[in-house]
Amino acid sequence: MIGVVADDLTGAAELGAVGLRHGLRAEVFLAGAPGSNVDLICVDTDSRSCDPHEAGQRATQAARMLQNCGADWIYMKTDSVLRGNVTPEIEAIVRQLGLSGALLVPANPSLGRTIVNGQYFVSRQLIHQTEFARDPKHPRLSPNVLELLDKPLELPVSVGKSTELLPKRGIVIGEVASAEDVRAWARLRNKRWLMAGGAEFFGALLPSEISAPKPTPASGQELFVCGSASEATRKFVASQARLGVPVFSLPNELVIVGAFDATAICALAARVVTALQENSRLILHVGLPQVSDVSLAEMLATHLFRVAAEVLRLAPVGQVFAEGGATATGLAREMGWHRLAVKSELAPGVVTLAVSGGGAELLTIKPGSYQWPGSLITR
């Protein structure tokens, strides 16, 4: 069995889908006890927004649990643009597993995310010149990958090329400009180093891909819960509105007052349920101007997934689509969905999970910066 430690739900699901492509039975785990009849367990520590000490503790606990479950090896899934507590979590897992260091390959070249000469690029543009610079929690304000990470407490960190030998200890960030670079790094895997990074590096560490299951259509209405403020989200919501899909958003006054009590949540949920009776698809999103205040952004995300959870308690929904790691995690935990079986992959990073309990038959999630596949947008 292979274990994965991820700092958010979308990352855990993304690697579960990579495993599915390689013939592995995969499960995403949030709480409780993981299943025993699986080949790949992806643990969501929900630690991206924690303080570094707490994030390290959660990573340690996840690695220890996977060890106790008999994991043959453990991979640390990081955000592809290095948001969150990357170095504290890597150091914590290295310490727990008694390793010498970590090989960190976060970039996904198939998505235009590369690291060249120590600089991070998104679609050939330096990352600090993209929308990632406006991330309310983890703005990417420098293209220098060493400046995108918190300083480690124990291990030296460096940027390296796949043609170079690994040092005796440390954290090495692998430069990647192509899929071949990713495969070259994978060939350097050894038992004394933690393998960490993005989805493409994880896939390169697995055996050859096989034919993955085709997506299973779900019956009933579709509810999209869009908690991201990314450009991809704004374009998606606008395009769906033009097609006549009903769009509901949080009230504008929340930006000013912040409060949204249970009565208001129930009232908005009731309107959504009424609209679902006459429409096959509906969108629920924040719908407010992007805010720079982190606590307010978190509060808005909380209001959104609480409204969505109330909708699911009131009405049967065939499939829920949630975007943004915080939104997907909040909704899953609010509904008590602690174990999620990976069923299919609509596109890289867009993953359908089977949930037990609650009102949804299937839950499909993706990171906020990723796009929904065209087949889903137009159907």
3-state class (DSSP) for residue 215: coil
pLDDT, position 288:
62
Count of C-beta atoms within a 10 Å radius of residue 50: 19
| H-run or E-run covering 376 | helix 374-378
Pairing of strands 40-44, 26-29: parallel
Taking the mean position of all CA atoms in its chain, how far away is CA 329? 9
Distance CA 118, CA 115 (A): 6
Helix (H, G, I), strand (E, B) or coil at 165: coil
Instruction: Provide the token pair at 329.
Output: 């995690």
Coil, strand, or helix at residue 113? strand
Q: What is the DSSP letter of 371?
A: P
pLDDT tens digits for 309-339? 999 999 888 899 998 888 899 999 899 898 9
Domain 2-106+144-204 and domain 222-378, same fold? Reply is no
pTM for this predicted structure: 0.89
Class of the CATH domain delimited by 222-378: alpha beta
Q: Parallel, antiparallel, or unpaired: how do β-strands 125-126 and 119-122 relate?
A: antiparallel
Domain boundaries, the chain: 2-106+144-204, 222-378
Q: How far apart are CA 300 and CA 306, in angstroms?
A: 10
Distance between CA 332 and CA 315 in Å, rounded? 17
SS (H, E, C) 91-159: HHHHHHHCCCEEEEECCCHHHCEEEECCEEEECCEEHHHCHHHHCCCCCCCCCEHHHCCCCCCCCCEEE
Low pLDDT (below 70) residues in the chain: 35, 211-219, 253-259, 288-294, 356-360, 378-379
How high is the pLDDT of residue 379? 61
Positive or negative: CA dihedral 355, 208, 376, 289: positive
pLDDT of amino acid 210 = 75
Output the pLDDT for position 227: 84
pLDDT at 37: 85
Distance between CA atoms of residues 59 and 55, nearest Å: 6
Distances in whole angstroms, Cα of residue 221 to Cα of each of 82, 111, 247, 255? 36, 31, 14, 30
- pLDDT of res. 191: 93
Question: Which superfamily, per CATH, for 2-106+144-204?
Answer: Putative sugar-binding, N-terminal domain (3.40.50.10840)
Instruction: Tell me phi and psi for residue 199, to 5 degrees.
Output: -70, -40
